[in-house]
Homo-oligomer: A and B are copies of this chain.
């Protein structure tokens, strides 16, 4: 029986599993496997934290958890002692549950070696130190104000920063009072029926960003797929069939990567201006990352008739887990919002808003964007180089912005068959047909989306090498 004080716990610091959880899991395992005997005393939190080079509260966290599950008990003035776990009535069950959970994670990790997710972002290079500095500073100097209730549409200071940023980088012209800060795009879309009314007919490009489509459907809106050409969504169909709302991504259409030229933009704005109830939702999702040519200003910027509802997010420019998006409403719609929805409290915690605000105001955000732009460009260039070497790559499009590339593949398989084949060898690819609203995305030759934002060059290389194996059947 080994002495507990000699307990060496291997900790992985890659952040995948919280440290306290690793400590908790390790000790629990030792207890269950009988490596630590009942009644034995655990090292003090002070000792173990020093021993493992982690903060004391991390160890406390692990111990608390073991106590709450009955593996150990805290004895006043004496410390933590191992319990007799044989009588933990629900142990078996809990074990099963946790093991399956662990298994699941492992199997997923084992199965998918490279995931070409089009929505993944590079977290490795996030300006974590700046973020920490800002957060810590807020926590210690502004903590009183962190807990006072804030403004329903978001903190004024943050809306001011967003307004400035959107004006400078996207040509969006608005005042802070037209901005609603909210907990993600889907939440902000949920506000539309409350502002514009229910039972609206929404026209979307097809293929498109399916989360938005499914959200509209969940909200009881009719969604109609509209054909795209090289210029983006076609205007004719909008006029023919009555449409209230058009959802578009003019600066970089997802997934096609089309950039809507000025002429089409003007036609679209003209279409909207013709009827009172018509509106355009401009989703400007990854406009921050453009690698070739000038960034195109937002559609909102050229709207003279209060017809464009602008939607942006920090999910890609900072991180998805940040969960902050912003909606810019035309003034007359903002009035409606204030009438009907003014009582909604902000869906974003104040501390999160103030952190982002300071992050922007101190210039970290801009620096971060510039840094990431060059990092993504490097990845993209590398990716394109690698793709050009491949026989099975027939055509490449949409590589000038964003974090994914659309590829026409030389293959007798359908894109969904290719997805399954790829999954079989541990690579996740994204068939274009999945992004068609009415599903009829049958192309002459298969098209797939490959994202590179979240991948290292090594991983891109490895993933493509794997894909070679399945792509060369023809």
Q: What is the interface of chain A, defined by CB distance below 8 A to chain B?
A: 13-21, 54-55, 57-58, 60-61, 64-65, 68, 101, 123, 126, 128, 131-137, 139-150, 156-157, 164, 183-184, 186-187, 190, 193-194, 198, 210-211, 214-215, 218-220, 319-324, 340-341, 343-352, 354, 358, 361-363
Contact = CB atoms under 8 A, between A and B. Distances in A.
A320 B149 contact: yes
Given A184-B345, A220-B220, 11 more contacts: A14-B144, A54-B141, A58-B137, A61-B361, A64-B362, A123-B147, A136-B139, A187-B187, A194-B218, A215-B344, A352-B352
Contacts of A17: 145
B15 A144 contact: yes
B350 A321 contact: yes
Contacts of A133: 57
B141 A58 contact: yes
A340 B54 CA distance: 42
Closest 5 CB pairs of A and B: A15-B144, A183-B347, A321-B350, A147-B319, A15-B145
Given A57-B362, A323-B347, A345-B186, A140 B144 contact: no
7 contacts: A55-B137, A68-B164, A68-B361, A184-B345, A214-B343, A348-B349, A349-B352
A189 to B, nearest CB: 10
Contact of A347 (B68, B184, B220): B184
A214 B137 CA distance: 38
Nearest to A193: B220
Contacts of A219: 193-194
B340 A322 contact: no
Contact of A132 (B54, B139, B319): B139
A316 B135 CA distance: 24
B349 A323 contact: yes
Contacts of A149: 320-321
A226 to B, nearest CB: 22
Nearest to A14: B144
Given A139-B132, A183-B183, A349-B352, A145 B57 contact: no
Contacts of A198: 198, 220
Contact of A126 (B147, B157, B194, B343): B147
B211 A343 contact: yes
A349 B321 contact: yes
A210 to B, nearest CB: 8
A18 B321 contact: no
Contact of A142 (B15, B139, B143, B184): B15
B352 A186 contact: no
A148 B354 CA distance: 21
Residue among A55, A157, A219, A347 with the highest chain B CB neighbour number at 10 A: A347
A369 to B, nearest CB: 16
A319 to B, nearest CB: 4
A149 B321 CA distance: 5
Nearest to A13: B144
B15 A186 contact: no
Contacts of A15: 142-146, 148
A123 B148 contact: yes
B347 A57 contact: no
Given A184-B347, A348-B183, A352-B351, A132 B143 contact: yes
Contacts of A343: 210-211, 214
Contacts of A320: 149, 345
Given A132-B139, A135-B135, A190-B190, A341 B218 contact: yes
A61 B354 CA distance: 12
Nearest to A156: B101
A45 to B, nearest CB: 11
A133 B55 CA distance: 10
Contacts of A60: 362
Given A123-B144, A164-B68, A361-B65, A340 B183 contact: no
A210 B344 CA distance: 11
Contact of A349 (B65, B211, B215, B322): B322
